[in-house]
């Protein structure tokens, strides 16, 4: 591994500049076109764009594969024009009338087939955008009530879907983004452990890995830095959605580090020490502006999250490793805690 410090590249998706609607109220900010959003990336210090398939090709269900490919090529030209690259494309399998009961795990075989076909189109878009990563956030692959689906069979269906996608095109990889709940009461792939176990069962395990979102790990009652470390040890952390979450409530997508600075510090540390980013992985930020945010401030949450990441990176790089090792060797974890907290507070 090179001894040069990692030069991190940042990414976000167009949905991270949004209009502020929530389940209890309508939008509060005027929409911004995709072309205008693209212009903001470089200004904010971002190089990568994350996509849903229909962010790249709106209304793709009504288009032929050839039309989809042509539209995706036009988006590629827009990215090239801005000096940006696509990080990944995710099939949006949670908005269509066909995916009310889930995508790959819907009880109706026709709806499961829709999910597979839609995923093939997503892979076509991946190819045209010149990236090699699909993110699978398995939003509706779970249940509201246990009795509605067969949980064991659902796992087989998920595996079958992954294998079909891997066979459809051999030039791309799949990163599963686990989340334990929301919109479902209970999701079938709630943690990175579940995702990685599924990856090893795939026809080509080397092409299936994971994306870890901080808030999703916290919602599962887990520590995101330990989850990231687990995936890194398997060589399967291919993307991250850094953000923050203030306890067990709805998925808040707060700015990275905004709720718990020490927990954020430990995530940056695990990424830095695990060599994350050295194979081109992006530091993705899946953050939402507060609903109270005015239109003119609607990218502050992105700028803040990036700034907090870089400030914490500095804290990681300036940590006194000798001092830390001595405290660990003495099993003086109280002393270690004091050192870490004071280091974060700028006292040491
Ligand atoms: C929602 C997810 C979502 C995904 C995105 C990419 O909780 O975090 O934002 O990351 O749709 O698939
Ligand atoms: Mg996410």
Same domain, 169 and 271: yes
Residue 134, domain member (yes or no): yes
Residue 78, domain member (yes or no): yes
Same domain, 42 and 97: yes
Pocket test for ligand 1, best of 213, 215, 256, 282 (most atoms within 8 A of CB): 213
Confirm if 86 and 131 have CB atoms less than 8 A apart: yes
Q: What is the pLDDT of residues 142-170, one digit of tens each?
A: 999 999 999 999 999 999 999 999 999 99
Mean pLDDT of the chain: 98
Which run of H or of E encompasses 152? helix 151-168
Same domain, 63 and 190: yes
Q: What is the pLDDT of residues 41-98, one digit of tens each?
A: 999 999 999 999 999 999 999 999 999 999 999 999 999 999 999 999 999 999 999 9
Average pLDDT over residues 93-120: 98
For the domain that residue 246 is a member of, what is the CATH number?
Answer: 3.20.20.150
Ligand nearest to the CA of 285: 2
Which run of H or of E encompasses 151? helix 151-168
pLDDT of 2 > 70? The answer is: no
Same domain, 98 and 230: yes
Same domain, 255 and 339: no
Q: Give the CA count within 13 Å in the CB-facing half-sphere of 33.
A: 3
Q: Counting atoms of ligand 1 from 1, which one is nearest the CA of 182? A: 7
CA of 201 to the centre of ligand 1 (A): 24
Same domain, 293 and 166: yes
Q: Give the CA count within 13 Å in the CB-facing half-sphere of 209.
A: 21
Average pLDDT over residues 28-48: 98
Counting residues of the chain whose pLDDT is more than 90, the rounded percentage is: 99
CA of 320 to the centre of ligand 1 (A): 36
Nearest CA to ligand 1 atom 2: 137
How many structural domains comprise the chain?
2
Counting residues of the chain whose pLDDT is more than 70, the rounded percentage is: 99
Same domain, 162 and 191: yes
CB-based pocket (< 6 A), ligand 1: 52, 90, 135, 137, 177, 179, 213, 241, 251, 286
Residue 172, domain member (yes or no): yes
Same domain, 236 and 331: no
CA of 158 to the centre of ligand 1 (A): 18
Same domain, 256 and 160: yes
Residue 4, domain member (yes or no): no
Confirm if 168 and 122 have CB atoms less than 8 A apart: no
Exposed, middle or buried, 49 (CB in 10 Å: 0-12/13-18/19+)?
A: buried
Residue 107, domain member (yes or no): yes
Domain that holds residue 330: 319-348
Residue 22, domain member (yes or no): yes
Question: 94 by DSSP, 3-state: which?
Answer: coil
- Kindly list the catalytic residues: 52, 55
Same domain, 313 and 323: no
Pairing of strands 237-242, 283-285: parallel
Tell me how far apart the alpha carbons of residues 149 and 135 are, in angstroms, rounded to a whole number: 24
Cα–Cα distances in angstroms (integers) from residue 342 to residues 100, 175, 324, in the given order: 50, 37, 13
Q: What is the pLDDT of residues 287-313, one digit of tens each?
A: 999 999 999 999 999 999 999 999 999
Assign 256 a pLDDT band (cuts: 50, 70, 90). very high
Residue 160, domain member (yes or no): yes
pLDDT at 1: 53
Ligand nearest to the CA of 240: 2
Residue 144, domain member (yes or no): yes
Average pLDDT over residues 269-279: 98
Q: Which residues pair with 88 in a beta bridge?
A: 50
Same domain, 154 and 237: yes
pLDDT at 74: 98
pLDDT at 3: 77
Same domain, 115 and 89: yes
């Amino acid at each position: 591994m090179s001894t040069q410090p990692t030069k991190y590249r940042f990414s976000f998706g167009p949905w991270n500049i949004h209009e502020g609607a929530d389940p209890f109220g309508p939008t509060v900010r005027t929409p911004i076109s995709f072309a205008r959003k693209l212009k903001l990336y470089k200004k904010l210090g971002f190089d990568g764009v994350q996509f849903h398939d229909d962010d790249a090709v709106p209304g793709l269900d009504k288009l032929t594969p050839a039309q989809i490919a042509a539209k995706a090529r036009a988006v590629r030209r827009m990215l090239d024009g801005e000096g940006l690259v696509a990080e990944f494309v995710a099939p949006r399998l949670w908005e269509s009338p066909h995916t009310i009961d889930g995508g790959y795990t819907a009880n109706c075989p026709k709806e499961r087939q829709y999910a597979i076909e839609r995923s093939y189109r997503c892979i076509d878009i991946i190819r045209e955008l010149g990236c090699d990563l699909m993110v699978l956030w398995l939003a509706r692959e779970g249940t509201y009530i246990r009795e509605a689906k067969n949980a064991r069979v659902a796992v087989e269906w998920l595996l079958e879907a992954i294998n079909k996608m891997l066979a459809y095109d051999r030039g791309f990889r799949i990163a599963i983004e686990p989340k334990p709940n929301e919109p479902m009461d209970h999701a079938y792939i709630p943690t990175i452990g579940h995702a990685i176990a599924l990856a090893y069962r795939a026809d080509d395990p080397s092409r299936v890995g994971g994306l870890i979102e901080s808030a999703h790990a916290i919602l599962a009652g887990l520590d995101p830095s330990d989850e990231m470390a687990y995936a890194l040890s398997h060589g399967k952390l291919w993307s991250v959605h850094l953000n923050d979450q203030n306890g067990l409530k709805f998925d808040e997508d707060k700015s990275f580090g905004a709720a718990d600075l020490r927990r954020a510090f430990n995530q940056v540390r695990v990424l830095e020490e695990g060599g994350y980013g050295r194979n081109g992985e992006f530091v993705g930020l899946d953050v939402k502006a507060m609903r109270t945010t005015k239109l003119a401030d609607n990218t502050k949450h992105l700028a803040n999250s990036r700034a907090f990441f870089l400030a914490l990176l500095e804290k990681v790089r300036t940590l006194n490793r000798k001092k830390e090792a001595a405290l660990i060797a003495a099993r003086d974890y109280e002393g270690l805690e004091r050192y870490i907290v004071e280091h974060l507070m700028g006292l040491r």
